[in-house]
Structure 1
Amino acid sequence: MRALWNGRARGDYLSDALALLAGWSREDKQLKRVFQLDNSQHSDLTERVKVCADALRLRAEIRRLDGYTQVKLAAADGVSITEREVTLAARIEDAYRLVLNVE
């Protein structure tokens, strides 16, 4: 998914793009999503996220908490979320769907 940033206020496109990403929330300068996965699915998702994040030169924080997998994407510049973080969130959603179908 790519959001067009020209022609409208940048915040509008960010809001529109995030509305398409079910389950993701914006908390200050980061995006957050919680997935219910077993341990092997968590491992599979983690590997897939690392590949996507490396390709976009971003870092995703992935943690395992009480049977859930939490993913946080912080703004690369530490100031504001950009199209790159939203793109990574969309790729993580795709990876999540693949992990669920692997079983």
Structure 2
Amino acid sequence: MGAVWRRDQSDYLTDALAQLTGWTRDLRGLKRTLQLDESEHRQLAEQVTIYADAAEVRAQLRRLDGYTQIQICPAEGGPLTPGEVSLAARIEAAYKALKA
């Protein structure tokens, strides 16, 4: 039986987040700004709501000057979890499908 290499969970999350182009991380969570028209914003907002509810993760969207700002916040200001990074990946995939 081979040795098991264990890494801190935050290392995996950092690696996963590095694969998500355009997402940034700060003390409050993950952020992304997208240039979308009103129709695209509505479509993405519907999908984000469904994904966030299913993952039990809090996501905030707001519209400002033709841009959609997304913020994914860990519960109670806690550390970033796989759920938040997974939600960011699902949002990114939905955004790319919307723009395809």
**Shared fold (TM-score, shorter chain, > 0.5):** yes
Matches within 5 A, 1:14-53: 14-53=13-52
SS across alignment from 2:77: coil
TM-score in terms of structure 2 length: 0.90
State the aligned residue count.
96
Q: Which runs of 5+ in 2 are unaligned?
A: none
Shift of 1:29: 3.1
The aligned residue for residue 11 of structure 2 is 12
Q: Deviations over 1:1-52 (max 9, x none)?
A: xxxxx81012211210110000000011300000010010000000010110
- 4+ runs of 1 displaced by more than 3 Å? none
Counterpart secondary structure, 2:75: coil
- Could you say what the CA RMSD is over the residues aligned between the two structures, in angstroms? 1.3
Larger Rg: 2
Amino acid corresponding to residue 47 of structure 2 in structure 1:
R
- Any idea what SS the aligned residue of 1:21 has? coil
1:55 corresponds to:
54
How far the C-alpha of 1:61 sits from its partner, in A, is: 0.3
- Seq. identity, %: 51
